[in-house]
Amino acid sequence: TEQVHLVPLTVTSVEQAGVGDRYCLDFLSHFHQGEGVLVGSSAACMVLIHSETIPSTFVPTRPFRVNAGSPHSYIMMADGTTKYMADLTSGDVVLATSTDGSTRPVVLGRLKIEPRPMLKIVVLPTMNNEQKPNESHVYMQQAETVRLLSDLAEARSITSLESNEVVLGWIGHGSRHLGKAIGGHVEER
């Protein structure tokens, strides 16, 4: 498996976002704690969403599942391309990513799509002084079992996430066409 360079992303806000379709992704493999998938509203910045491997008082664990967000979101595929969540189909191969950056391919078994209350999580990449960081965001189901991974490799429930907390993510090539990186400039907001 290849390594992915994960970077710290500072949460700038967590906002109510109304009701939307949330996509639970059920895979043919179990995930480990500290492992999930990369998802974002921009192909240039994705957050690491934790799998449902952590026990909860509300529901049993689902170690084969990632509650991955909304239909417009990009998800990182095992071949390095991206897809819209809405374009995923059973049999697609997604990139599972761990907090240490290690990756492996995982095969999607099914999608479970249901309307749910959503949160908008806005993040700002930490960049060097020569680069102007762009704010990015992801929409996720408002549920205590939906978690992002912190810079300390701890799973943080999005329902208790606060501004100025740091989560892990990936910064990539911002210009894509049909999921493949291309030259040029694309602005996503």
pLDDT tier, 177 (very low <50, low <70, confident <90, very high otherwise): very low
Closest-CA residue to 71 (of 108, 26, 111, 110): 111
Band of pLDDT at residue 2, cut at 50, 70 and 90: confident
Listed residue (119, 75, 103) closest to 6, CA to CA = 103
How far separated are the first and last CA of the chain, in Å rounded? 32
**Residues 6+ away with beta carbon under 8 Å from 66:** 24, 25, 27, 31, 36, 37, 49, 50, 51, 52
For residue 180, give the nearest of 79, 68, 62 by alpha carbon: 79
Sign for the CA dihedral angle at 106, 11, 172, 168 comes to: negative
Residue 1 banded pLDDT, cuts 50, 70, 90: low
Of 47-51, 84-88, 177-181, the range with the lowest mean pLDDT is 177-181
Q: How far is CA 146 from CA 28, 51, 79, 95, in A?
A: 20, 8, 26, 18
Q: What angle do CA 118, 42, 188 make, to 5 degrees?
A: 110
**Partners of 114 in the beta sheet?**
22
Tell me what the mean pLDDT of segment 73-95 comes to: 96
Average model confidence (pLDDT) for the chain? 89
pLDDT the model gives residue 108: 98
